[in-house]
Amino acid sequence: MSRVVVAGSFNVDHVWHCATLPRPGETLAGGYSTGPGGKGFNQAVASALAGADTTFVCALGDDDGGRLARRLAAAHGIDLRAAASEAATGTAGIYVGDDGTNSIVIGPGANAALTPEFVAAQGEAIAAADVVLAQLESPLHAIVEALRLARASGAHTLLNPAPANAGCSRELLAVAEVLTPNETEFSGLLARHCGADVDPAALAGLDDEHLHRLCRTLLPRGTVVLTLGAMGCFVSHREDSLRGDGQAHYRCPAAAARVVDTTGAGDAFNGALAASLAGGPTRPFATHVRFATRYAALSTERPGAAAAMPGGDEVASRFPGA
């Protein structure tokens, strides 16, 4: 069976649904809900539901949030490896507008307790993985260790450099085989590491050759999958490593969706991409990207983050040929 290890965060999401997102100084009335989230957990749930045998490496508090994480991981068949923390389990405050857009503030809490030592103690699981996936809501030195161990064992490494303000380092980029930024994250990485000033809102409109050059400058030795929201995504490979594709760069259109809530859509994409890569390493990379794009689209038709993740069979039913 295909195996994915996700190293990252778990948060308890507190969600307010309102007609529009609140502006500075504005108070709005809205509906409230709560549920599981955190980029790491969202991606682990997506990976598991998309068909991969999934291990989730994280840090949790000894509280209701931590118990929720353990209960839900068990329900989804996820092998949970959680470092204990005296801090409260992580939280997130999320505002969702009627158009599905969102604004999020994270309280890291126990997520900050994930250490390289704890990650290294999960070395056997990492060594057995086909793909190791990570994001940036956990301490960067712990994430570097997870991807470093994965590369040493021959597993594919997939880095989602989110959130954008987390300060992704060159050391981390060096162990990323596949990088999956959105427009804001990509623009920030270009400014930080390449001295390039690119408006994130203009990226989708750039010609493909220009986008490809920017990707090659940022990650010369790996593949970049730049997610562009409703415009789909742009894929850029190294010229001598096309991963089964027929060309070094191309666009993959977004799948049509009846959007309710975009919270967690990026996590859905990443978890599904990891699961698909793990399950079909000899298939063209474009096949995995197309599946992940459709999986993410379907996740936006439901409210919530982890709770919105569909099963792989649902994607196949909704999008034949996925």
Residue 205 marked as a ligand binder: no
**Residue 109 annotated in ligand binding:** no
- Please state the three-class secondary structure of 3-19 as a single string: EEEEECCCEEEEEEECC
Q: Annotated binding residue at 12?
A: yes
Omega of the bond prior to 163 within 30 degrees of 0, cis?
yes
What's the one-letter identity of residue 192? R
Residue 107 annotated as binding site: no
| Contact indicator for 201, 211 with CB cutoff of 8 Å | no
Q: Is 260 annotated as a binding residue?
A: no
**13 known ligand binder:** yes
**Tokens for 268?**
């859905």
Q: Is 267 annotated as a binding residue?
A: yes
* 208 catalytic residue (yes or no): no
User: Is 203 labelled as part of a ligand binding site?
Assistant: no
Contact in structure between 63 and 50 (CB atoms under 8 Å): no
Residues 244-258 as b/e (b if ≥16 CB within 10 A, e otherwise) read ebeebbbbbebbebe
Among the listed residues 98, 245, 267, 313, the single catalytic one is: 267
Q: Is residue 137 part of an annotated ligand binding site? A: yes
Q: Establish whether 148 is an annotated binding residue.
A: no
At which residue do the structure tokens 């994130």 appear?
A: 200
How far, in Å, CA of 176 to CA of 134, rounded? Answer: 10
Q: Is 100 left (phi over 0), alpha (psi -120 to 50) or beta?
A: left
Q: Say whether 118 counts as a known binding-site residue.
A: no
Is position 40 annotated in a ligand binding site?
Answer: yes
| Residue 111 annotated as lining a ligand binding site | no
| Tally of residues, the chain | 322
Q: Compute the distance between CA of residue 116 and CA of residue 156 in angstroms, rounded to an integer.
A: 19
- Cβ-contact 137, 166 below 8 angstroms: yes
Measured over the CA atoms of residue 191, residue 195, residue 199 and residue 202, the dihedral's sign is negative
26 is in an annotated binding site: no
Binding residue ranges: 11-13, 38-42, 137, 182, 227-232, 261, 263, 266-267, 299, 302, 304
- Residues annotated as binding site for ATP? 182, 227-232, 266-267
Which residues carry a binding-site annotation for K(+)? 261, 263, 299, 302, 304
Q: Annotated binding site for substrate: which residue ranges?
A: 11-13, 38-42, 137, 267
As annotated, the active-site residues are 267
